[in-house]
């Protein structure tokens, strides 16, 4: 049986124009409630999984990306349907994969809520995961 780090997951956007593969070896997974993530996703929160940038590769649609930001920090969307696929963070070395764009089921699960202090006032967190008012240090 293969270990999770030997598995490769697939993901992609809503319209199918952009696809990616990523190793099932995420270092962390969190649920972010900050205003930027809410506006970027159009949702109350953004569940994401973090991994080194070189462990994610586009499989199709590289010419169909809309990147908001620069090479070191950005949100990468499909230019056709607008799906947020991932965010480039931590000086360009990591990506935060939007877990909702994964087609395959990852091994990792979110372990905490971050920026719960600025969550949408109309949203109630109902699980038992730890809640941090900002990003835990």
Domains in the chain (CATH in brackets) are 4-118 (2.170.150.70)
Residues near 102 by Cβ (< 8 Å), separated by ≥ 6? 9, 10, 11, 22
pTM of the model: 0.92
pLDDT digits over 24-69, tens only?
999 999 999 999 999 999 999 999 999 999 999 999 999 999 999 9
What does DSSP say about strands 46-52 and 28-32: parallel, antiparallel, or unpaired?
antiparallel
pLDDT at 107: 98
Q: Is 1 a residue whose pLDDT tops 60?
A: no
Element (H, E) at 59: strand 56-60
What letter does residue 71 receive in the DSSP assignment?
A: S
Residues near 94 by Cβ (< 8 Å), separated by ≥ 6? 50, 51, 52, 53, 88
pLDDT at 5: 60
Q: For residue 77, count CB atoms less than 10 angstroms from its CB and return exposed for 0-12, middle for 13-18, buried for 19 or more.
A: buried
Round to whole Å and give the CA distance between 32 and 58. 24
């Amino acid at each position: 049986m293969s270990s999770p780090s030997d598995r490769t997951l697939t993901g992609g956007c809503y319209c199918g124009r952009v696809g990616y593969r990523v190793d099932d070896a995420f270092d962390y997974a969190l649920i972010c409630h900050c205003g930027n993530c809410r506006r970027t996703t159009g949702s109350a929160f953004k569940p994401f999984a973090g991994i080194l940038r070189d462990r994610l590769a586009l499989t199709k649609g590289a010419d169909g990306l809309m990147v908001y930001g620069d090479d070191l920090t950005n949100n990468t969307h499909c230019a056709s349907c607008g799906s947020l696929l991932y965010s480039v963070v931590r000086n360009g070395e990591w990506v935060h994969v939007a877990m909702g764009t994964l087609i395959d089921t990852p091994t990792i699960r979110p372990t905490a809520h971050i920026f719960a202090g600025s969550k949408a006032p109309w949203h109630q967190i109902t699980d038992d995961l730890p809640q941090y008012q900002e990003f835990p240090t």
